[in-house]
């Protein structure tokens, strides 16, 4: 075990009120309309994948298997001014007009229910609270368990289950109010954080490092050659992954690309867009629980080296409730001081067991 550390988990039940109605009318031309028609023919009900059960599964596991050093506190709502640091006034007007309504916002995946706008305000505000917790020294690290997620939300558009860009709002707040000059954002969700990239595309004071499954996987952005522009050229670092990538590839990318990038950038604060749909249960990539834990260890080392350990994680994707809850739990254990495990090559442990079992069975008498 490493030294015990305090970890603050921020959770507010108001985020559970975001619960789009799967029976609402779809916008014309939506792909999901065709998908729902197919599923209906198979007598399978279409469900909105980003649902409250994601967070209750995490909290239930944490209650069953508490982690020493982890404390749970409430969240808070973001103000309009805080949101306006990364979103346009027109966009905010559009979203706030949907308060207490059910509607589809765009042509891919994003919908709202009557409680969604407040949930999104709380999600962004709780991300801010996580940053304040570590910047004020109240906790070694923090994890904001929030929804709807945020990293697909663009300055003028809600997209990919996301209304407000939570991590971007938190980063902008850290710069505007908490004395942070340079912020490192690490996004290890299986999907590229297109919204975060757009927001900080030309910002020299935010280093955005994104590991994701390569295009044409949704949202299709995040090319290797996308590196930012103007004064921000070089502060966008994309690492597109093959569909079969797992622990070894992720850790190699962190150790050989992120670590030197952070050494060059020297951040005052590290934020992680912590999505867990890179786990094999979400059928996108093959990161394991041990892989997420080891990745956390690498990020912790960077935070300890450059910014006095200041590290805040903000939940993004992850839709299988078993893998999501266990992945978050494995990350929290490392944040709280557990030694990060070294992941094994998938399948090797089972083969070794089989070798031991069959050893000698086929040798000559």
Q: Determine the Cα–Cα distance for residues 288 and 279; give it in Å rounded to an integer.
A: 6
Range list of β-strands (E), the chain: 7-11, 70-73, 103-104, 111-112, 141-145, 183-187, 206-213, 236-241, 269-274, 311-315
What are the two backbone dihedrals, phi and then psi, of residue 10, each rounded to the nearest 5 degrees?
-105, 125
Residue 328 burial (CB count, 10 A): 27
Among candidate residues 89, 78, 84, 71, the one with its CA nearest the CA of residue 7: 71
What's the DSSP call for residue 25?
P
- The three-class DSSP label of residue 4 is coil
Q: How far apart are CA 9 and CA 242, in angstroms?
A: 32
Residue 51 known to be catalytic: no
**CA–CA–CA angle 121, 150, 46 (5° rounding):** 100
Does residue 43 sit in helix, strand or coil?
Answer: coil
Give bridge partners of residue 145 from the DSSP assignment. 11
CA dist list (Å): 195 to 18, 252, 355: 20, 25, 48
SS3 353: helix
Distance CA 132, CA 75 (A): 11
3-state percent helix, strand, coil for the chain, nearest multiple of 5: 40, 15, 45
Q: Which of 18, 87, 152, 279 is catalytic?
A: 152
- In the block, which residue shows the tokens 């070294």? 342
Supply the residues annotated as catalytic: 152
């Amino acid at each position: 075990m490493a030294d015990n550390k305090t970890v603050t988990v921020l959770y507010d039940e108001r985020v559970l009120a975001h619960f789009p109605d799967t029976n609402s009318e779809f916008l014309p031309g939506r792909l999901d309309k065709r998908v729902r028609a197919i599923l209906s023919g198979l007598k399978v009900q279409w469900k909105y994948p980003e649902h409250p059960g994601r967070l209750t599964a995490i909290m239930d596991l944490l209650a069953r298997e508490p982690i020493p050093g982890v404390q749970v506190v409430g969240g808070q709502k973001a103000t309009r001014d805080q949101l306006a640091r990364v979103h346009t006034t027109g966009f905010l007007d559009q979203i706030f007009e949907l308060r207490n309504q059910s509607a589809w916002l765009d042509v891919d995946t994003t919908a709202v229910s009557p409680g969604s706008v407040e949930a999104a305000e709380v999600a962004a505000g709780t991300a801010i609270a996580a940053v304040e917790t570590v910047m004020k020294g109240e906790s070694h690290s923090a994890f904001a368990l929030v929804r709807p997620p945020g990293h697909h939300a663009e300055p003028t558009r809600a997209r990919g289950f996301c209304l407000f860009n939570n991590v971007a709002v938190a980063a902008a707040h850290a710069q505007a109010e908490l004395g942070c000059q340079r912020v490192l954002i690490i996004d290890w969700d299986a999907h590229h954080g297109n919204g975060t990239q757009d927001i900080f595309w030309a910002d020299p004071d935010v280093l955005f490092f994104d590991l994701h499954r390569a295009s044409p996987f949704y949202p299709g952005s995040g090319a290797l050659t996308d590196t930012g522009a103007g004064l921000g050229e070089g502060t966008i670092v994309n690492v597109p992954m093959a569909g079969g990538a797992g622990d070894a590839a992720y850790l190699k990318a962190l150790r050989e690309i992120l670590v030197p990038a952070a050494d060059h950038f020297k951040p005052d604060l590290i934020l992680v867009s912590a999505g867990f749909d890179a786990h094999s249960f979400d059928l996108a990539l093959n990161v394991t629980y041990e892989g997420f834990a080891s990745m956390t260890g690498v990020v912790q080392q960077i935070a300890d080296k450059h910014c006095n350990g200041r590290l805040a994680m903000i939940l993004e994707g992850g839709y299988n409730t078993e893998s999501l809850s266990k992945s978050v739990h494995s990350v929290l254990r490392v944040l709280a001081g557990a030694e990060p495990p070294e992941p094994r090559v998938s399948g090797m442990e089972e083969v070794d067991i089989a070798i031991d079992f069959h050893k000698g069975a086929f040798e000559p008498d």
